[in-house]
Amino acid sequence: MLFKELTVYKKAFSLAMELFEISKNFPSEEKYGLTSQIRRSSRSVYSCIAEAYRKRMFEAHFVSKSTDADMENSETSVWIDTAFACNYINAETKNKLSNQVEEIGRMVNHMIENPEKYLRKEDKIIAQQ
């Protein structure tokens, strides 16, 4: 399986693309502020998931990169709250996006708490010897 086939990767990528489209409507003065931040953090979520997946032969590295994804996901949540507080998005959009962030967070947390489920089969065999 490739990292792009992981459900959590797909959901994180989809959210980042949705935020990219939404942030096109933010005021121009936010270009280097909120717009940049929400795009960067949301893109970092799926990027860290990809990195974690490629590091899955080393459990500690896998967990470390997965916690980075969790951190970026939490930051994305903060920027969604900020966009709502600044009236750049409405309550319905905020709730929809926040629900997506929470779902991704639960999936990433599963990766962190159960790294053995993500290790490569050949690495599990080596670890058991």
Helix 91-113 with 34-54: angle, nearest 10 deg: 20
7-124 CATH fold: de novo design (two linked rop proteins) (1.20.1440)
Tens of pLDDT along 16-57?
999 999 999 999 999 999 999 999 999 999 999 999 999 999
pLDDT at 119: 85
**DSSP single-letter state for residue 119:** S
pTM: 0.91
Tens of pLDDT along 51-90?
999 999 999 999 999 999 999 999 999 999 999 999 999 9
Say if residue 125's pLDDT is above 50.
Answer: no
pLDDT at 120: 77
Say if residue 128's pLDDT is above 70.
Answer: no
pLDDT at 28: 96
**The residue type at 108:** V
pLDDT at 1: 67
Question: What value does the mean pLDDT take over residues 96-114?
Answer: 98
Residue 76 near residue 38 (C-beta atoms within 8 A): yes
Please provide residue 114's backbone torsions phi and psi, each rounded to the nearest 5 degrees: -135, 55
Q: What is d(CA 117, CA 24) in angstroms, rounded to the nearest whole number?
A: 38
- For every residue of 68-106, DSSP letters joined together read HHHHHHHHHHHHHHHHHHTTSS-HHHHHHHHHHHHHHHH
How is the chain split into domains, by residue range? 7-124
Say if residue 103's pLDDT is above 90.
Answer: yes
Q: What is d(CA 91, CA 65) in angstroms, rounded to the nearest whole number?
A: 32
